[in-house]
Amino acid sequence: MLDRSKLTSGHSTSLNTAEEIAKFDRLAKEWRDPKGKFKQVLAFNQTRLIAIEKMIAQHLALDLNNPAPLAGLSLLDIGCGAGLLCEPLAELGADVTGIDASEHNILVANQHAKTNHISVNYIHCLASDLEDKSNRYDIVLNTEVIEHIADQQGLVDTCCRLLKPGGLLVMATLNRTVTSYIVGIIGAEYVMRYLPIGTHEWRFFVKPQEISAMLSKQGLETINVKGMTFNPFTKHWSVNRNTKVNYLLFATKSSDT
């Protein structure tokens, strides 16, 4: 959902003045206002989050009803944006690191986490900058990023390298279909204006089987693919088998890798 196509070298960031803090605090609140301009992003994220939590619990045999069910697990969110996935997963007990190519996104995310006393390690960097973190994370998220990247195999390879053996990789993107062009570009950008015009290029959309093939080169196995669809009448998102537009792909790294 977010445009992260303009990638830059990274470093940790912080706010130094009261004026800067106030500015990014306002932006953080805008991102999470259910009636604001990002309300559709929030609705999409909430539906996606529930599906991700359930799959993590299933893969690692966890009970989400327990307090802090993700305690002891390390999680990396590549392309974390404003931290919409990082924070709720951190609140479930995970040790969460969120990285993004946009310094602006990291400043917004970091300010919101500090204001709400949520422990997330936000870093302004690329996934490829984490060279010393091979086999480090139990869970790696890469959501709505790959459709903005030219070297898609390179991104997948990096995700695989960072994941622990036995860990779970979650990827989310848009399928390359006629339906996704109509809905994801014409509808979302030009008609409904949910996204800025030019956010996506259809040629960079990726079919689930293409991602699975990229993953298999690194020894990962796709274990589930779930579709996500938006009902324009009810304004609700749902998780189902329809992968013609948005989908979530879950893969695991062999313990022998």
Binding site residues, as ranges? 48, 79, 100, 143
193: tokens are 């204006």
- Phi/psi at 154 (nearest 5 deg)? -60, -40
First vs last Cα of the chain: how many Å apart? 32
121: tokens are 């390690």
The whole-angstrom separation of Cα 112 and Cα 108 is 6
Q: How many CA atoms are closer than 13 Å to the CA of 217, on its beta-carbon side?
A: 13
Positions at the binding site for S-adenosyl-L-methionine: 48, 79, 100, 143
Torsional sign, CA 22, 27, 32, 112: negative
27: tokens are 């932006």
Radius of gyration for the chain, computed over Cα atoms and rounded to the nearest angstrom: 17
Helices 208-216 and 152-162, packing angle to 10 deg: 60
Asked whether 43 and 235 are in contact (CB, 8 A), the reply is yes
Torsional sign, CA 18, 22, 24, 25: positive
Q: Which of 98, 205, 82 is nearest to 142 (CA)?
A: 98
The whole-angstrom separation of Cα 4 and Cα 80 is 10
Tokens 């303009």 locate to 6
